[in-house]
Amino acid sequence: MAYFRHSFRVKKGLVMGHETLVAALANGGCAFGGWVTLNSEAMSGVMDRAGYDFVGFDCQHGTLSEADAAHMVRRMAGVRAATIVRVSANNLGLIGKVLDAGADGVIVPLVNNAEEARQAVASCHYPPNGSRSFGPNRPGMPTTVPELEAKVSCFVMIETREGLANAAEICAVPGVAGIVIGPADMSIALGLTPVEGFTTDQIFEALATVRAACEANGITLGIFAGGAAMVPKWYGQGARLMIIGSDLGLLSQAANADMAQAKAHVTSLT
Protein backbone atom coordinates (compact mmCIF):
# COMPACT_ATOMS: atom_id res chain seq x y z
CA MET A 1 0.00 0.00 0.00
CA ALA A 2 1.14 3.53 -0.74
CA TYR A 3 1.41 4.69 2.85
CA PHE A 4 3.83 1.87 3.62
CA ARG A 5 6.02 2.60 0.63
CA HIS A 6 6.34 6.28 1.52
CA SER A 7 7.24 5.85 5.17
CA PHE A 8 10.96 5.97 5.75
CA ARG A 9 10.70 4.28 9.15
CA VAL A 10 9.20 1.14 7.67
CA LYS A 11 11.45 -1.82 7.07
CA LYS A 12 10.54 -3.94 4.09
CA GLY A 13 8.25 -6.84 4.95
CA LEU A 14 7.36 -5.54 8.42
CA VAL A 15 3.67 -5.42 9.33
CA MET A 16 2.59 -1.90 10.23
CA GLY A 17 -0.29 0.03 11.72
CA HIS A 18 -3.67 -1.11 10.43
CA GLU A 19 -2.15 -4.36 9.16
CA THR A 20 -0.84 -5.16 12.65
CA LEU A 21 -4.38 -4.92 14.00
CA VAL A 22 -5.80 -7.05 11.20
CA ALA A 23 -3.08 -9.68 11.67
CA ALA A 24 -3.64 -9.81 15.45
CA LEU A 25 -7.37 -10.39 15.04
CA ALA A 26 -7.07 -12.89 12.19
CA ASN A 27 -8.28 -16.45 12.81
CA GLY A 28 -9.86 -15.66 16.17
CA GLY A 29 -6.70 -14.07 17.57
CA CYS A 30 -6.49 -11.33 20.19
CA ALA A 31 -5.43 -7.73 19.72
CA PHE A 32 -3.98 -6.14 22.87
CA GLY A 33 -3.86 -2.41 23.39
CA GLY A 34 -1.66 -0.15 25.47
CA TRP A 35 -3.56 2.92 26.55
CA VAL A 36 -2.18 6.45 26.49
CA THR A 37 -3.98 8.85 28.82
CA LEU A 38 -1.14 11.30 29.45
CA ASN A 39 -0.35 14.01 26.97
CA SER A 40 3.19 12.88 26.30
CA GLU A 41 4.84 11.44 23.20
CA ALA A 42 7.12 9.47 25.49
CA MET A 43 4.07 7.39 26.47
CA SER A 44 3.12 6.41 22.91
CA GLY A 45 6.73 5.46 22.20
CA VAL A 46 6.90 3.26 25.30
CA MET A 47 3.62 1.52 24.36
CA ASP A 48 4.76 0.81 20.82
CA ARG A 49 8.11 -0.56 21.99
CA ALA A 50 6.37 -2.78 24.55
CA GLY A 51 4.81 -4.73 21.69
CA TYR A 52 1.11 -3.98 22.06
CA ASP A 53 -0.83 -4.58 18.84
CA PHE A 54 -2.29 -1.11 19.06
CA VAL A 55 -1.66 2.05 20.97
CA GLY A 56 -4.86 3.71 22.12
CA PHE A 57 -5.18 7.41 22.86
CA ASP A 58 -7.89 8.44 25.30
CA CYS A 59 -9.44 11.80 24.49
CA GLN A 60 -12.54 11.01 26.54
CA HIS A 61 -11.00 10.45 29.97
CA GLY A 62 -7.28 11.09 29.38
CA THR A 63 -5.50 14.41 29.70
CA LEU A 64 -5.23 14.81 25.93
CA SER A 65 -7.51 16.46 23.38
CA GLU A 66 -8.10 15.22 19.84
CA ALA A 67 -5.58 17.82 18.67
CA ASP A 68 -2.99 16.38 21.08
CA ALA A 69 -3.79 12.83 19.95
CA ALA A 70 -3.53 13.88 16.31
CA HIS A 71 -0.07 15.26 17.01
CA MET A 72 1.08 12.01 18.64
CA VAL A 73 -0.51 9.81 15.98
CA ARG A 74 1.21 11.85 13.26
CA ARG A 75 4.55 11.17 14.96
CA MET A 76 3.83 7.43 14.85
CA ALA A 77 4.00 7.19 11.06
CA GLY A 78 5.47 3.87 10.03
CA VAL A 79 5.53 2.24 13.45
CA ARG A 80 4.50 -1.37 13.99
CA ALA A 81 1.55 -0.83 16.33
CA ALA A 82 -1.79 0.37 15.04
CA THR A 83 -3.06 3.66 16.44
CA ILE A 84 -6.63 3.94 17.70
CA VAL A 85 -8.11 7.05 19.26
CA ARG A 86 -11.00 7.05 21.67
CA VAL A 87 -12.64 10.34 20.76
CA SER A 88 -14.40 12.38 23.40
CA ALA A 89 -17.70 12.39 21.52
CA ASN A 90 -19.43 11.02 18.42
CA ASN A 91 -18.52 14.02 16.34
CA LEU A 92 -17.59 14.38 12.66
CA GLY A 93 -14.98 17.09 13.27
CA LEU A 94 -13.22 15.30 16.12
CA ILE A 95 -13.13 11.95 14.31
CA GLY A 96 -11.91 13.64 11.11
CA LYS A 97 -9.10 15.37 12.99
CA VAL A 98 -7.54 12.14 14.28
CA LEU A 99 -8.12 10.21 11.06
CA ASP A 100 -6.52 13.01 9.04
CA ALA A 101 -3.43 12.54 11.23
CA GLY A 102 -3.28 8.88 10.20
CA ALA A 103 -5.06 7.06 13.04
CA ASP A 104 -5.92 3.50 12.07
CA GLY A 105 -9.17 3.59 13.95
CA VAL A 106 -11.45 5.25 16.40
CA ILE A 107 -13.38 4.09 19.44
CA VAL A 108 -16.59 6.07 19.82
CA PRO A 109 -17.98 6.09 23.38
CA LEU A 110 -21.54 5.85 24.66
CA VAL A 111 -23.26 4.71 21.45
CA ASN A 112 -26.93 4.13 22.26
CA ASN A 113 -28.59 3.02 19.04
CA ALA A 114 -28.15 2.19 15.35
CA GLU A 115 -28.51 5.82 14.28
CA GLU A 116 -25.59 6.86 16.48
CA ALA A 117 -23.54 3.91 15.21
CA ARG A 118 -24.31 4.94 11.61
CA GLN A 119 -23.19 8.48 12.45
CA ALA A 120 -19.87 7.15 13.82
CA VAL A 121 -19.28 5.03 10.72
CA ALA A 122 -20.25 7.92 8.42
CA SER A 123 -17.60 10.10 10.09
CA CYS A 124 -14.97 7.54 9.00
CA HIS A 125 -16.04 7.44 5.34
CA TYR A 126 -16.15 9.91 2.50
CA PRO A 127 -19.25 10.61 0.39
CA PRO A 128 -21.21 8.77 -0.91
CA ASN A 129 -20.46 6.29 1.92
CA GLY A 130 -20.28 8.87 4.69
CA SER A 131 -19.64 12.49 5.57
CA ARG A 132 -15.86 12.70 6.20
CA SER A 133 -14.11 15.65 4.60
CA PHE A 134 -10.88 15.11 2.68
CA GLY A 135 -7.66 16.36 4.26
CA PRO A 136 -5.12 13.68 5.26
CA ASN A 137 -2.11 15.51 6.68
CA ARG A 138 0.47 12.90 7.71
CA PRO A 139 3.29 12.54 5.19
CA GLY A 140 3.08 9.17 3.47
CA MET A 141 -0.63 8.62 3.96
CA PRO A 142 -2.56 7.25 0.99
CA THR A 143 -4.09 9.81 -1.26
CA THR A 144 -7.02 7.88 -2.66
CA VAL A 145 -10.41 7.57 -0.98
CA PRO A 146 -10.58 3.74 -1.14
CA GLU A 147 -7.12 3.37 0.44
CA LEU A 148 -7.88 5.89 3.19
CA GLU A 149 -11.21 4.24 3.96
CA ALA A 150 -9.75 0.73 3.94
CA LYS A 151 -7.23 1.48 6.68
CA VAL A 152 -9.75 2.81 9.20
CA SER A 153 -11.56 0.65 11.76
CA CYS A 154 -14.60 2.12 13.48
CA PHE A 155 -15.26 0.64 16.92
CA VAL A 156 -18.24 1.80 18.94
CA MET A 157 -18.76 1.40 22.66
CA ILE A 158 -21.79 -0.25 24.21
CA GLU A 159 -21.82 0.83 27.83
CA THR A 160 -25.30 2.25 28.51
CA ARG A 161 -28.66 0.66 29.26
CA GLU A 162 -30.03 1.91 25.93
CA GLY A 163 -27.00 0.69 24.03
CA LEU A 164 -27.34 -2.74 25.59
CA ALA A 165 -31.03 -2.92 24.68
CA ASN A 166 -30.10 -1.99 21.10
CA ALA A 167 -27.01 -4.21 20.83
CA ALA A 168 -28.42 -6.29 17.96
CA GLU A 169 -29.19 -3.25 15.76
CA ILE A 170 -25.92 -1.48 16.63
CA CYS A 171 -23.84 -4.54 15.69
CA ALA A 172 -25.74 -4.89 12.41
CA VAL A 173 -24.73 -1.41 11.19
CA PRO A 174 -22.45 -1.88 8.17
CA GLY A 175 -18.98 -0.52 8.79
CA VAL A 176 -18.90 -1.16 12.53
CA ALA A 177 -15.66 -3.12 12.97
CA GLY A 178 -16.41 -4.13 16.51
CA ILE A 179 -17.88 -3.26 19.87
CA VAL A 180 -15.86 -2.16 22.86
CA ILE A 181 -17.45 -2.67 26.27
CA GLY A 182 -16.81 -0.14 29.02
CA PRO A 183 -17.23 -2.22 32.19
CA ALA A 184 -17.41 0.83 34.46
CA ASP A 185 -20.19 2.62 32.61
CA MET A 186 -21.92 -0.69 31.90
CA SER A 187 -21.89 -1.40 35.64
CA ILE A 188 -23.47 1.94 36.41
CA ALA A 189 -26.11 1.23 33.75
CA LEU A 190 -26.88 -2.05 35.53
CA GLY A 191 -27.12 -0.43 38.97
CA LEU A 192 -23.69 -1.62 40.12
CA THR A 193 -20.63 0.31 41.26
CA PRO A 194 -18.11 1.10 38.48
CA VAL A 195 -15.51 -1.22 39.99
CA GLU A 196 -17.90 -4.20 40.12
CA GLY A 197 -17.74 -4.44 36.33
CA PHE A 198 -14.11 -5.47 36.68
CA THR A 199 -14.12 -7.36 39.96
CA THR A 200 -17.31 -9.46 39.72
CA ASP A 201 -19.16 -11.54 37.14
CA GLN A 202 -22.23 -9.34 37.31
CA ILE A 203 -21.89 -7.89 33.81
CA PHE A 204 -21.50 -11.33 32.19
CA GLU A 205 -25.13 -11.52 31.12
CA ALA A 206 -24.89 -8.13 29.39
CA LEU A 207 -21.62 -9.23 27.82
CA ALA A 208 -23.24 -12.40 26.51
CA THR A 209 -25.95 -10.30 24.82
CA VAL A 210 -23.35 -8.14 23.08
CA ARG A 211 -21.19 -11.15 22.24
CA ALA A 212 -24.13 -12.87 20.50
CA ALA A 213 -24.85 -9.71 18.48
CA CYS A 214 -21.17 -9.43 17.50
CA GLU A 215 -20.99 -13.07 16.45
CA ALA A 216 -24.21 -12.77 14.43
CA ASN A 217 -22.56 -9.99 12.42
CA GLY A 218 -19.01 -11.32 12.30
CA ILE A 219 -17.55 -8.35 14.17
CA THR A 220 -15.04 -8.14 17.02
CA LEU A 221 -15.99 -7.99 20.69
CA GLY A 222 -13.64 -5.76 22.65
CA ILE A 223 -13.35 -4.61 26.24
CA PHE A 224 -11.40 -2.40 28.61
CA ALA A 225 -9.89 -5.34 30.46
CA GLY A 226 -8.55 -3.58 33.54
CA GLY A 227 -5.15 -5.26 33.34
CA ALA A 228 -3.35 -8.21 31.78
CA ALA A 229 -4.37 -10.45 34.70
CA MET A 230 -7.97 -10.14 33.51
CA VAL A 231 -7.27 -11.48 30.01
CA PRO A 232 -8.41 -15.09 30.74
CA LYS A 233 -11.69 -13.85 32.22
CA TRP A 234 -12.62 -11.68 29.23
CA TYR A 235 -11.23 -14.15 26.70
CA GLY A 236 -13.65 -16.71 28.12
CA GLN A 237 -16.47 -14.22 27.53
CA GLY A 238 -15.54 -13.86 23.87
CA ALA A 239 -13.48 -10.66 23.92
CA ARG A 240 -10.75 -10.59 21.30
CA LEU A 241 -9.74 -6.93 21.44
CA MET A 242 -8.56 -5.91 24.89
CA ILE A 243 -7.17 -2.72 26.28
CA ILE A 244 -4.97 -4.08 29.03
CA GLY A 245 -2.54 -1.49 30.36
CA SER A 246 -2.69 2.28 30.69
CA ASP A 247 0.29 4.58 31.14
CA LEU A 248 -1.08 5.99 34.39
CA GLY A 249 -2.09 2.59 35.79
CA LEU A 250 1.21 0.92 34.93
CA LEU A 251 3.22 3.86 36.21
CA SER A 252 1.40 3.97 39.53
CA GLN A 253 1.72 0.18 39.96
CA ALA A 254 5.45 0.39 39.29
CA ALA A 255 5.88 3.42 41.54
CA ASN A 256 4.02 1.76 44.41
CA ALA A 257 6.08 -1.42 44.04
CA ASP A 258 9.29 0.59 43.81
CA MET A 259 8.59 2.53 47.00
CA ALA A 260 7.48 -0.60 48.85
CA GLN A 261 10.71 -2.33 47.84
CA ALA A 262 12.83 0.61 48.98
CA LYS A 263 11.07 0.70 52.36
CA ALA A 264 11.43 -3.07 52.76
CA HIS A 265 15.19 -2.79 52.16
CA VAL A 266 15.54 -0.15 54.86
CA THR A 267 13.40 -2.18 57.28
CA SER A 268 15.58 -5.23 56.72
CA LEU A 269 18.72 -3.18 57.42
CA THR A 270 17.55 -1.58 60.63
| Binding positions for ligand 3PY, rule: CB under 6 A | 61, 159, 182-185, 224
Q: Is residue 182 part of the contact set for Mg ion (CB under 5 A)?
A: yes
Q: Which is closer to ligand 3PY, CB of 15 or CB of 165?
A: 165
| H helix runs in 139-246, sequence order | 145-150, 161-165, 167-171, 183-189, 196-199, 204-217, 231-236
For the window 66-95, what string marks contact with Mg ion as x by the rule CB under 5 A? ------------------------------
CA pair distance 224, 231, nearest whole angstrom: 10
- Contact partner, 183, from Mg ion, ligand 3PY, none, Cβ < 5-8 Å per class: ligand 3PY
| Nearest Cα to Cα of residue 168 among 221, 220, 216, 236 | 216
The answer to whether 47 and 36 have CB atoms below 8 angstroms apart is yes
Rounded CA-CA distance 182/187 in Å is 8
The set of catalytic residues is: 61
| Minimal distance, residue 173 CB to Mg ion, in Å | 20
User: Where does this chain touch Mg ion (CB under 5 A) — which range of 11-19, 63-71, 147-155, 156-164?
Assistant: 156-164
With CB cut-offs between 5 and 8 Å by kind, which of Mg ion, ligand 3PY, none does residue 178 bind?
Answer: none
Of positions 58, 185, 196, 247, contacts Mg ion by CB under 5 A = 185
Stretch near Mg ion under the rule CB under 5 A, chosen from 78-86, 153-161, 197-205, 230-238: 153-161
Determine the angle formed by the axes of helices 66-74 and 92-100, rounding to 10 degrees.
20
159 binds Mg ion, rule: CB under 5 A? yes
Query: Which residue lies nearest ligand 3PY, judged by its C-beta?
Result: 182
**DSSP strands (E only) in the chain:** 31-36, 54-58, 82-86, 105-108, 153-158, 176-181, 220-224, 241-246
Q: Residues in the site for Mg ion, rule: CB under 5 A?
A: 159, 182, 185
